[in-house]
A and B are shown apart, each in its own frame.
Chain A
Amino acid sequence: MAVYKRNYSAYTGTVTPVWTRVLVLARYAFEEAWSSKITVGLFIFCLLPCVVSLVVIYLADNPMARALVGGRWQEMLAIDAKFFLKILQTQAWLALVMASWIAPRLITFDLADNALPILLSHPISRFGYVFGKFIALFTSLSLITWLPCLLLFVYQGYSSPQPWAISNLQIAMGLLAGSVIWIAFLSMLGLALSSWVKWRVVATGVIFAAVFVPAGVGAIVSALLRTKWGLLLNVPVMMSNLWQRLLGAPAPISERLSVPTLAIAVMLSLVCLVCVGMLNKRIRAREVVRG
């Protein structure tokens, strides 16, 4: 109990610019996401493939190591677009695991405790609220996707005996663009689905389901209608197509599984629009009275 009576005093100091409130939201969301030990554990796990890749690059650029490794292992040590495509694919799917863990933490706590009326009664719009959470999720996923991928690219450029980086700049651009498209898509999907599910564990499952269940449906559609357009429901195939083209890697999948880039872009945009609609419906200070 306080030993003396405290009085209320008005605040007369300066206030921060309105646009920085989004960053306040992002900062608190980021802290919330990383306050869990599971997040830290997942982060370390997600960086393991990068460490392995780092070792491979080291060996590939080390003449003694190359001499020791003979035969078909030489092929494995080729550092090219195909090699970076594998890294990008691995990191991208680990990003899905990370997003499905973090995204529900950012939204469901606010929804479960009905915090939106209080949060939105401050000078922050609904767009600002979602954007703040988006920044937090996007930043977290960046730490395991394009950032380590580009660091590996830089390391390869540094340690390669021949000038390598300039002639393979498309790989760097592809890594950046492919990662950014994927994590932006994941962030939108994760936030939209989390806003509709109050329980975090369920939200995590729903995010996974939203990626893989339509792929199954797409396969059924393709088989029944004898068309390849069912692949537009198959996110893994769509993204593999996109990444392969962005990095300029040889097509690892058959022509039968190839989808036009424009169709992929339209499909991803459509999903993002649906996510915006879902967030618009759900992120409100008050429920709309029905009837």
Chain B
Amino acid sequence: MGVIDLDGVEVRLANRTVLDNLTGELHGQAIGLLGPNGAGKSTLINTLLGFHLPSKGKARVFGLDTHKDRAQIRGGIGFMPENDSFIGNMSGVRFVRYMAELAGLPSGVALERAHEALFYVGLGEVRYRKVNTYSLGMKQLVKLAQALAHGPKLLILDEPTNGLDPVARQRMIRLIKDIRKEGSIRLLISSHLLRDIDETCDEVLILKNGRIASLCNIEEERRSNRSFMELETVGATGRFSVSIRGLGCECATFPGGRIKLVIPDNIEARDLYVIASEQGVQIRRMNQRRDSLEDIFLRAMDNDQGRTANGSL
């Protein structure tokens, strides 16, 4: 049983298919949810929380059906929404206590945990201030505190670093790493920032147009010893990329003559120079490096069809 099981999940909103046949099992301690805007990340999170009923298929969290058992699932989830979502005229500690009580903590314990959670995220000194007087970074942190206070089994963070300055972002990333290291909470982190996912997650689900474009273990991908190369070219880049695909390379082209390649073992850099010379293309820069999440993401985005079938690891 995975943390999240998706079995042919389809979600339709306003006669539009937003999630299309998602199938896969997510097992990671920290699962990243990546995708461009409109890919269906937030819809998937809302489906897991039981806000949307799948029109086809089933989604499960810890083996519980997201529709039938939604009350039980919500009891074990801490959710930090993407947008501003709080009660502005309450003090920080009262707001977090209220949320903890709604999650099922007795009143006295909820108050104690609210204080602890606010100190943990770094809002201890401002916990008696009204939430609507907080800065954007503080509001993100108070949302994290309310998601943590009741000790959830799964913490869902929707764009946790949205709108944060570099210092606040670093603090948020450090907190997420801390929570992950503590080990009692599984994390599902939705973001369009590759760096955030790269730093915090061990598994990633990439969505594109409501479909699974990739589902992979980041560490395993990094260990797969694939040889990556970045080229900067001038000339007929399109024809050149077709030719190097003919050699067996996986290739993605970008504006400005940039090409990213995955090179098979039997191909050397010299072979690329030969083709470039034959086609009158200048190679201005060649950079060989190891796999990164960015490459995984770009490959997934390059695959127009998306992955519709089995996404199990």
Mark A residues whose CB is within 8 Å of B.
Answer: 1-2, 6-16, 18, 21, 24-25, 28, 109-110, 112-125, 284-286, 288-291
A21 touching B116 in the complex, CB below 8 Å, given contacts A1-B125, A115-B85, A290-B14: no
Residue contacts A-B, CB under 8 angstroms, 15 given? A10-B182, A14-B106, A18-B104, A24-B98, A109-B89, A113-B85, A113-B87, A113-B131, A113-B132, A115-B86, A117-B83, A118-B79, A121-B77, A284-B51, A286-B52
Instruction: List residues of chain B with CB within 8 A of the CB of A12.
Output: 151
Bound complex: CA A109 to CA B35 (Å): 33
Nearest-CB distance from A36 to chain B (Å)? 10
CA gap between A285 and B81 in the complex, in Å? 10
Interface residue ranges, B against A (CB under 8 Å): 13-14, 16, 18, 46, 49, 51-52, 71-72, 74-75, 77, 79, 81, 83-89, 98-99, 101-106, 109, 113, 116, 119-120, 122, 124-125, 131-132, 143, 146, 148, 150-151, 178-179, 182, 184-185
Q: A15-B75, A121-B79, A123-B104 are in contact. Are A109 and B87 (CB under 8 A)?
A: yes
Across-interface contacts of A115 in B (CB, < 8 A): 85-87
Contact residue among A113, A116, A122, A125 (Cβ-Cβ distance under 8 Å from B103):
A122
- Chain A residues within an 8 Å CB radius of B150: 11
Question: What residues of A have a CB within 8 angstroms of the CB of B116 in the complex?
Answer: 6, 9
Known A-B contacts A6-B116, A289-B16; the reply to A124 vs B102 at CB < 8 A is: yes
**B103 with A123: CB separation less than 8 A:** yes
Chain B residues positioned under 8 Å from A116 (CB to CB): 85
Tell whether, in the assembled complex, residue A13 and residue B87 are in contact, meaning their CB atoms are under 8 Å apart: no
Contacts A119-B102, A123-B71, A123-B72 given: A10-B151 contact, CB under 8 Å?
yes
Cα A112 to Cα B85 in complex, Å, equals 9
- In the complex, the answer to whether A289 meets B182 with C-beta atoms within 8 Å is no
With beta carbons under 8 angstroms apart, the residue of A8, A14, A15, A118 that contacts B81 is A118
Of B71, B99, B113, B124, the contact of A18 (CB 8 Å cutoff): B71
Report the bound CA distance from A12 to B150 in whole Å: 9
Known A16-B106, A28-B98, A289-B18; judge A113-B79 contact (CB<8 A).
no
A114 near B77 with CB under 8 A, answer no
In whole angstroms, what is the CA distance A124 to B185 when docked? 22
* Complex Cα–Cα for A119 and B98 (A): 9
A155, chain B: closest CB distance, angstroms: 36
CA distance A271 to B79 in the complex (A): 36
* Residue of B14, B75, B81, B84 ringed by the most chain A CB atoms within 10 A: B81
Once the chains bind, are A114 and B105 in contact (CB under 8 Å)?
A: no
Residues of B within 8 A of A18 (CB): 71, 75, 104
> Among the interface residues A12, A28, A122, A290, which one has the most CB atoms of the partner chain B within 10 A?
A122
A128 to chain B, nearest CB (A): 9
Complex Cα distance A119/B18, Å?
Answer: 24
- Give the distance in Å from the alpha carbon of A15 to the alpha carbon of B105 in the complex: 5
Q: Are A112 and B151 within 8 A (Cβ)?
A: no
Q: Which residues of A contact B151 (CB under 8 A)?
A: 9-12
The 5 closest A-B pairs by CB, nearest first: A11-B151, A15-B104, A121-B79, A122-B102, A10-B184
B residues less than 8 Å from A8 (CB atoms): 120, 148, 178-179, 182, 185
Collect the chain B residues with CB atoms within 8 Å of residue A16's CB: 101, 104-106
Residues of B within 8 A of A118 (CB): 79, 81, 85-86, 99, 143, 146
Q: Are A123 and B87 in contact (CB under 8 A)?
A: no
Bound state CA distance, A109 and B94, in angstroms?
15
Neighbouring B residues of A21 by C-beta, 8 Å: 101-102, 104
Name the B residues within 8 Å of A14 (CB-CB).
106
Contact indicator B85/A10 (Cβ below 8 Å): no
Q: Is the CB of B105 within 8 A of A117?
A: no
Which residues of the partner chain B approach A120 to less than 8 Å between Cβ atoms?
Answer: 51
- Judge whether A121 and B49 touch: CB under 8 Å: yes
Q: Which of the residues B89, B105, B182 comes within 8 Å of A7, measured between beta carbons?
A: B182
Q: How far is the CB of B168 from chain A (nearest CB, A)?
A: 15
- Given known A-B contacts A123-B75, A123-B102, A288 and B14 have beta carbons under 8 A apart: yes
Q: For residue A13, which residues in chain B have a CB less than 8 angstroms away from its CB?
A: 105-106, 109
Chain B proximity of A25: nearest CB distance (Å): 7
Residues on the A chain within 8 Å of B98, using CB = 24, 28
The smallest C-beta distance from A135 to any residue of chain B, in angstroms, reads: 15
Known A11-B150, A113-B85, A286-B46; contact A24-B102, beta-carbon cutoff 8 A: yes
B85 in contact with A286 (CB, 8 Å)? no
**Which of chain A's residues has its CB closest to B184's CB?**
A10
10 further A-B contacts with Cβ under 8 Å, apart from A8-B148, A25-B102, A114-B85, are A109-B87, A109-B89, A110-B87, A114-B83, A116-B85, A122-B99, A123-B71, A123-B74, A123-B104, A285-B49
